[in-house]
Amino acid sequence: MTEKTGTLYGVGVGPGDPELLTLKAVRLIEAADVVAFFAKKDRPGHAFRITGDRISKSAISMRLEYPYTTEIPVDNPKYRAAMANFYDTSAAMIATHLREGRNVAVLCEGDPFLYGSFIYLFDRLEEFTCEVIPGVTAMAGCWAEAAAPMTRGTDVLNIVPGTLDEDQLTSRLTGADAAVIMKVGRNLPKIQRALARAGLADRAVYVERGTQKESKIERLSEKTDEPAPYFSLVLVPGENPSA
Amino acid sequence: MTEKTGTLYGVGVGPGDPELLTLKAVRLIEAADVVAFFAKKDRPGHAFRITGDRISKSAISMRLEYPYTTEIPVDNPKYRAAMANFYDTSAAMIATHLREGRNVAVLCEGDPFLYGSFIYLFDRLEEFTCEVIPGVTAMAGCWAEAAAPMTRGTDVLNIVPGTLDEDQLTSRLTGADAAVIMKVGRNLPKIQRALARAGLADRAVYVERGTQKESKIERLSEKTDEPAPYFSLVLVPGENPSA
């Protein structure tokens, strides 16, 4: 008995509001034989929360639980080894389904190819047919909700992970017309210092859980010392004059 | 007789494939009293082509025709004056509908707040209630179709308009981990020179009409001298190693 190999789908599910799923994402999630999603220990998984009720009752659900998220620093060798092993194991499980002819949809918050964990599966599953369905990014959800037009005309937009060190952050932000700082979380104080050094602190807007019910938007300069969740963002909208 | 003022919706309609509309965009386009869209002279308008059959038969259709697109340079004072006048007039027509209680959906290719013409209406219609519906960006559509993961880990992504001059382009690209160059069109030879000076020419991928039937993807280094349409992009994917 030979079976046709399945297709791997990396499905962007958008920033949080289930209505920001695309028609294509809905169609593929509803039809998938296997639906995989990443989740933090003891959490339902953000992508799963967005799409949960779209998954077919007959689909095989595959929860991929990160060994670590923010418990230890990303440059700790123990972190790296555990994550590499986690992606190897996850990719092997998905490969088994694909070889047995089942289509596998991997749910991806935002867009799969912009800092997505999906990339590490894609890198390991090159031998299979893969289609990526782009999604509304977290940052686009946040700047829409903040009513903050980001770039006009010749503005350059720099997208910078908050996990860089303070000097790197400062140099990547200096001279930016507009910027988005991702992966804020515990990096917030460092980000605030880098923005001040780059002369951008006054324009920065903090957005937490954009497009979700519990969203919060405030000027970064007015933010008190409360901790920020990992999926918060800082926006620095461009200042190019209107046409 | 007093009427409730209408709401202005800036609706992202994605990069081209009508299946990349979000559920929210579909709902608002179908329900809108007035649907406005930008178009180039003698063309149907890209956003209108994506969503045309979703618009209610009873909706008022408002075609906003650019006085110029690429006929004269953007720094020509005649261009600036004509465009400012065009946005003033368009905003005034929309304001009339809003004051008379009609909801107005402005269709926006990609995402409304990333280089969108919608921003120039938004800037002029601040007095009205406005909601922006984020969309899948053109670049996300292109990198998905090119099977090109853009950023891993600490990669910084620079989004750069091809309309900058060669020295500015070079300086904004130098040292970038990953980059997207928008608004390619007739700027292509200049962009190729800037990428070579920044040491990124070998990694650059050219994408034309991403997610559409007529899409074209090739290594930029292999692209011949044919002209590029305005809505083509150049991607420089990040090279960070996999986890």
Do B108 and B188 have their domain in common?
no
Higher pLDDT, B129 or A213: B129
Q: Which of B136, B167, B200 is the last residue of a domain?
A: B136
Domain co-membership, A148 together with A128: no
pLDDT digits (tens, 9 = 90+) for A19-64: 999 999 999 999 999 999 999 988 889 999 999 789 999 999 999 9
Give the position of tokens 């890198």. Answer: A123
- Average pLDDT (B115-126) is 97
- Residue-wise pLDDT for A180-189, tens only, equals 999 998 899 9
Of B76, B110, B136, at which residue does a domain stop? B136
| Beta-carbon separation of B134 and A124 below 8 A | no
Measured in angstroms, the CA of A236 and the nearest CA of chain B are apart by 13
Structure confidence by residue, pLDDT tens digits, A68-114 = 877 777 778 898 899 999 999 999 999 999 999 999 999 999 999 99
Say yes or no: A62 and A145 in one domain. no
Asked if A101 and A219 sit in the same domain, the reply is no
* Contact yes or no for A132 and B141 at CB 8 A: no
Q: Are residues B41 and B109 in the same domain?
A: yes
- Residues A172, B155: C-beta atoms closer than 8 Å: no
Residue B210: which domain range? 139-236
pLDDT range class, residue B1, cuts 50, 70, 90: very low
Q: Does residue B70 register a pLDDT over 80?
A: no
- Let me know if residue B1 belongs to a domain: no
- In a shared domain, residues A130 and A60: yes
pLDDT for residue A1 is more than 70: no
Domain count, chain A: 2
User: Interface pTM (ipTM) of the complex?
Assistant: 0.95
Is residue A243, in this structure, part of any structural domain at all? no
* Ramachandran category for residue B194: left, alpha or beta (phi over 0 → left; psi -120 to 50 → alpha): alpha
Residue of A nearest to B110 (CA): A136
Nearest CA in chain A to B18: A23
Q: Quote the CA–CA distance of A239 and A230 in Å, as a whole number.
A: 27
Element of type H or E holding B9: strand B8-12
CATH code for the domain of B54: 3.40.1010.10
| pTM, 2 dp | 0.95
Whether A26 has its CB under 8 Å from any CB of chain B: the answer is yes
Note whether A23 and A117 are same-domain residues.
yes
| DSSP annotation string for B89-127 | HHHHHHHHHHHTT--EEEEESB-TTBS-THHHHHHH-TT
Together in a domain, B113 and B164: no
Last residue of a domain, one of B99, B118, B136: B136
Cβ distance B136 to A132 less than 8 Å, yes or no, reads no
B20 and B118 fall within a common domain: yes
CA dihedral sign of residues A27, A30, A34, A38: positive
Q: Do A114 and B242 touch (CB under 8 A)?
A: no
Q: How many helices (H) and strands (E) does chain B have?
A: 7, 10
CB pairs under 8 A between A and B: 181
pLDDT of residue A2: 53
| Contact residues, A window 32-71, toward B, CB-based 8 Å cutoff | none
In a domain, B2, yes or no: no
Contact A115 B152 (CB under 8 A): yes
Q: Which long-range contacts (CB under 8 A, 24 or more apart) does A70-75 make?
A: A70/A185, A70/A186, A70/A230, A74/A163, A74/B153
Least CB–CB distance from B158: residue in A116, A133, A156: A156
Q: What is the mean pLDDT of chain A?
A: 93
Q: How far apart are CA A128 and CA A123, in angstroms?
A: 11
Q: Summarize pLDDT for B205-219 with one digit per residue, the tens.
A: 999 988 888 889 999
CA dist list (Å): B88 to A75, B82, B92, B121: 53, 10, 6, 8
For residue B212, being part of any structural domain is answered with: yes
Residue B241 lies in a domain: no
User: In the predicted model, what is the mean pLDDT of residues B66-95?
Assistant: 89
Q: Rounded to 5 degrees, what angle do the CA atoms A5, A6, A7 make?
A: 125
Does the structure show a pLDDT above 60 at B38? yes
Which CATH number is A223's domain given? Answer: 3.30.950.10
